Structure 1
Amino acid sequence: MAHRSNRELEQVYAARSPDELAAAYAAWAAAYDRDTLAAGYCLPFQVLAWVARYIRPDAGPLLDAGCGTGLSGPYLKALGYDRIAGLDFSEEMLKVAGSRNAYDDLRRATLGEVLPWADNHFAAFFSTGVFTEGHAPASSLEELCRITRPGGAAIFTVRDTIFHSGGFGSIIEDLGARGIWRPMEQSPPFRAFALDEPDVLVSAHVFEVLA
């Protein structure tokens, strides 16, 4: 199982276009949960610690940005968060997420493009495992802030290998300088997989959205 997980993960990271990435996830959707959990993938569950730390269950709707198969959803519901939306660019992954009966709004959308929600709609967004090699661009963060209300939270992880090369450092600084958000917390790098892929490190970032 670990061998399969590594192979499928390599195909995802090897994608060179949105179409290739979508095809890789479509092929992996049915086995994604079993493969990644066998490798010790922890981000969909680790993010709940930051959500619970900064967002009250009654604060308003949350957005799981890049929700994939929706692994976070049932555990958020167990913690009392009952208004959860999810977006993903893979229709196949969204079908799995919908089967969990944890999300009240699931939409196919692509990070880096205009998102199908109004300004100031969400109390917070969280995104884990999405800002990594060959995936959503750093520019996605401004659009996610647009649909998050002032006083809300932005919670996301970034792969260490693309933090600077992918422009995340400069985007984070620019949004701060423009008064879009202010920093609340940044973690040291930690492993995204508890068992396999020891070189896959991410850092978590939390901001308060201001405008």
Structure 2
Amino acid sequence: MTGDADKTALDMVYAAETEAELAAAYAAWANGYDRETAALGYCLPFVIAGWVARHVPKGLGPLLDAGCGTGLSGPYLAALGYGEIEGLDLSEEMLDLARARGGYAALTKAALGRRLPWRDGHFAAIVSTGVFTAGHAPASSLDELVRITSRGGFVIFTVRDVVLEAGGFRTKFSELEASEKWRPVEESPRFRAFAVAEPEVLVQAFVFEVL
């Protein structure tokens, strides 16, 4: 595709206002997603592994890639020695690509912001990149991610700078801390989500330990 086509696909995703619109945008983009985001220098699925390796000991139990998309993170987490990696995404088309890529023990179609199909404390850690951004999963999604993470486990994710305050993420962070559901461990400075293009798209990475 041309650069203009890439921009249109990304804009469609950011412009989605409902879960159905977002799923449709990703379904339409699925086949070209990896090639186009690679051209833009999309780095979040890869750099997040640094925070996982820093905080999550290997062998504690399964990890969840929440909003796994085409499954870019799974093989790199596996290469670092993490086993039993599961993924969830709202797009069946994206999950098909993740399944073909390998690296996941299981893949589940589910939407962040709703009740998730796992028992309390099922995962040793949860990773999520590129999901908490404009038109995507709400801050309330964090309640379920905390619920399905074991005590002493970690929730590691990125948040786009423009929704950090406006989307209620800071408020949710404080609520979960005040209710002793988690404690903050690390907060990165803002950095670029795309190494080549879209320099205005900035994110921060956050690490919380579940209590």
Same fold (TM over 0.5): yes
Residue 194 of structure 1 corresponds to which residue in structure 2? 195
1:1-211 map, 5 Å:
1-210=2-211
Query: Structure 1 CA distance, aligned partners of 2:56 and 2:34?
Result: 26
2:124 is paired with a residue of what secondary structure?
A: strand
Could you tell me whether the CA contact under 8 Å between 1:191 and 1:198 is conserved in 2? yes
2:101 is paired with a residue of what secondary structure?
A: coil
Query: Structure 2 CA distance, aligned partners of 1:2 and 1:49?
Result: 30
Deviations 1:80-136 (A, max 9, x none): 112100000000000000011210110000000000000000000010000000100
Query: Structure 1 CA distance, aligned partners of 2:91 and 2:24?
Result: 9
RMSD: 0.8
2:96 is paired with a residue of what secondary structure?
A: helix
Could you tell me whether the CA contact under 8 Å between 1:2 and 1:39 is conserved in 2? no
1:143 is paired with a residue of what secondary structure?
A: helix
Q: For structure 1, which runs of at least 5 residues remain unmatched after alignment?
A: none
Query: Aligned AA for 1:128?
Result: T
1:179 is displaced (CA, Å) by 0.2
Query: Structure 1 CA distance, aligned partners of 2:6 and 2:80?
Result: 29
1:99 is paired with a residue of what secondary structure?
A: helix
Could you tell me whether the CA contact under 8 Å between 1:2 and 1:38 is conserved in 2? no
Identity of aligned residues (%): 61
Query: Aligned AA for 2:96?
Result: K
Q: For structure 2, which runs of at least 5 residues remain unmatched after alignment?
A: none
The count of corresponding residues between Structure 1 and Structure 2 is: 210
Moved more, 127-136 or 72-81: 72-81
Could you tell me whether the CA contact under 8 Å between 1:112 and 1:137 is conserved in 2? yes
TM-score (norm 2): 0.98
TM-score (norm 1): 0.98
